[in-house]
A and B are shown apart, each in its own frame.
Chain A
Amino acid sequence: MHSMAPPVLKPISLWRRFANQGATAFAILTAILVLAPLMAIFIYLVIKGVGAINWDFLTKTPKPVGESGGGMANAIVGSGVILLISSLIGIPLGIGSGIYLAEYGRNRLGDMVRFTADVLNGVPSIVIGIAAYSLVVVPQKHFSALSGGVALGIMMIPTVARATEEMLLMVPNSIREAAFGLGIPKWRTTLSITLRTASAGVITGCMLAFARVAGETAPLLFTAFGNQFWNLNPNQPTAALPLQIFVYAISPFDEWHKQAWAGALILIIMIVGAVAAVRITTSRGRLKGA
């Protein structure tokens, strides 16, 4: 350095070093601020809920008012059934419309679909519950897991669609050109090349939508309705964890409060478990350097 001409730029000042460290510290601080409430909720749930979780809680149905014991087994299974139905509705329709928006939707219809999806995303969940009520419950004349699944499925569509669109648009056009150049038809290119290239992001979008609706209570109030007993028929009123938590939380009984906490903890564990399971199974086939 000593033999060269004098530097044009001044040496890095003390203030710049300080500002640099300050900015890094600020970024770390905000990250902690975001994580803190999440951790606080989870720890609080564990403290409040873990005491009421036992074998009975996981395998028995609720006891009538006045009797102690019982569990939420029917609600755990019911939530599983409802979420399965909603995923079967929301994920294929969401991915399908996302593909349309990204690959064919540079036009008026595409703009309309995009706008509608964004509005649907902002509609209060109870309104979507009412829609499912009038679409499924009224014609059938009874509550059911199916209607609950429809309500949650409708809620999943816009999230999945917009996430799919964004992820497909991130796939560079050179990848599509490579496929066209091989004489692969457009529909094949979209399904086997573009969507596959974007699959990690699309799966994240689906999981986000799933996690969001898994905790929804309002749309289930007059669709799945809840049930004190075992029911595996998707065409009958079905218990769901959020509903059970809601009913127990507003009850005057101490034991029910404890069970509501336990139910909330189980619900979070179910969501985290489902997301983790999907992540593990989908990352298994990943190649070196992909």
Chain B
Amino acid sequence: MGVGIEVKDLNAWYGKNLSLKSINMTVPANHVTAVIGPSGCGKSTFVRCLNRMHETIPDARAEGTVKVGEMEVYGDADPVDVRRRIGMVFQKPNPFPTMSIYGNVAAGLKLNGFRNRKQMDELVERSLKLAALWDEVKDNLHKKSGASLSGGQQQRLCIARALAVEPEVLLMDEPASALDPISTSKIEELIFQLKQHYTVVIVTHNMQQAARVAELTGFFLMGSLIEYDKTEKIFTNPADKRTEDYVTGRFG
């Protein structure tokens, strides 16, 4: 089951550059929440702060309170532990090229010391089914490399890989922006299914996508969260002029 996320007064820097300014946001469990905004507005930085990926970039740091379920992300928690509980899917599909399809999905388990083969087989199958990839790859699980799949399949493989470690939250950083329309609609359908089991936060610069998949939408501009509300409200009756300008296509 998914858990909710509480973000309080989150600031993030790249070197001396303040790129997230005092973000406050509450993400409900088992919902899809979209983060939209023009390029460079801080939306990717925001989700990367939620699982402490932000600080893996040299000179980058973040401060504030992020609570995922009962876990204080910026407290005493070990960032490695945080990332085990908060899965992430990136913009460009990034399967491990030397590993088989099975190896890719099992990587997070195997490399974290999980040894039960039978249970691993089950988790791999379950994750690939959840990611709607099982039928396409089940005959080549061990024979084919993850890199041999098509772009859309690779991205679903990456989603399966993230799901296999059974996270509570799934962060998706523009997961469909490198994909064709058919693959994109498959991923969107998938996101819709996933919220039964997980809390999903999705970054997108495609507003139609946000409207299609998310119940809640947050609009970021120049490092600030301008407006955060029900998706329908954001797109039909936004409270802030800047949000209206953006969603009606007047800039961005």
8 Å CB contacts to B: which residues of A180-239?
Answer: 180-185, 188-189, 192-193, 196-197, 199
Give the B interface residue count (CB, 8 A).
36
Per-residue CB proximity of A68-108 to B under 8 Å, as 1/0?
00000000000000000000000000000000000000100
A278 interfacial contact with B, CB 8 Å: no
B205 interfacial contact with A, CB 8 Å: no
Q: What is the minimal beta-carbon distance from A285 to any residue of chain B, in angstroms?
A: 9
Chain B residues with Cβ under 8 A from A199's Cβ? 98
Q: Establish whether residues B94 and A177, one from each chain, have CB atoms under 8 Å apart when the complex forms.
A: yes
Q: Establish whether residues B87 and A196, one from each chain, have CB atoms under 8 Å apart when the complex forms.
A: no
Q: What is the minimal beta-carbon distance from B91 to any residue of chain A, in angstroms?
A: 9
B97 interfacial contact with A, CB 8 Å: yes
A16 interfacial contact with B, CB 8 Å: no
A4 interfacial contact with B, CB 8 Å: no
Chain B residues with Cβ under 8 A from A177's Cβ? 53, 56, 90, 94
B162 interfacial contact with A, CB 8 Å: yes
Q: Establish whether residues B145 and A183, one from each chain, have CB atoms under 8 Å apart when the complex forms.
A: no
Chain B residues with Cβ under 8 A from A141's Cβ? none
Give the A interface residue count (CB, 8 A).
24
Report if A183-B108 is in contact (Cβ < 8 Å); known contacts: A174-B90, A177-B53.
Answer: yes
8 Å CB contacts to A: which residues of B174-229?
Answer: none
Q: What is the minimal beta-carbon distance from A178 to any residue of chain B, in angstroms?
A: 4
Chain A residues with Cβ under 8 A from B107's Cβ? 179, 182, 184, 193
Chain B residues with Cβ under 8 A from A185's Cβ? 80
Q: Establish whether residues B145 and A288, one from each chain, have CB atoms under 8 Å apart when the complex forms.
A: yes
Chain A residues with Cβ under 8 A from B148's Cβ? 287-290
A39 interfacial contact with B, CB 8 Å: no
How many A-B Cβ pairs are below 8 Å?
92
8 Å CB contacts to A: which residues of B79-130?
Answer: 80-85, 87-88, 90, 92, 94-100, 107-108, 111-112
Q: Establish whether residues B53 and A181, one from each chain, have CB atoms under 8 Å apart when the complex forms.
A: yes
Task: Report the separation of the CA atoms of residues A175 and B149 in the bound assembly, to the nearest whole angstrom.
Answer: 16
What are 15 pairs between A and B in contact, CB < 8 Å? Answer: A174-B94, A178-B95, A179-B96, A182-B87, A182-B108, A182-B111, A183-B82, A184-B107, A188-B112, A192-B111, A193-B111, A196-B96, A196-B99, A287-B98, A287-B145
With A182-B108, A193-B107 given, name 12 new contacts (CB 8 A).
A172-B94, A174-B90, A174-B92, A174-B94, A175-B97, A182-B107, A184-B111, A188-B112, A197-B98, A288-B145, A289-B144, A290-B148
- Residues of chain A whose beta carbon lies under 8 Å from any beta carbon of chain B: 106, 172, 174-175, 177-185, 188-189, 192-193, 196-197, 199, 287-290
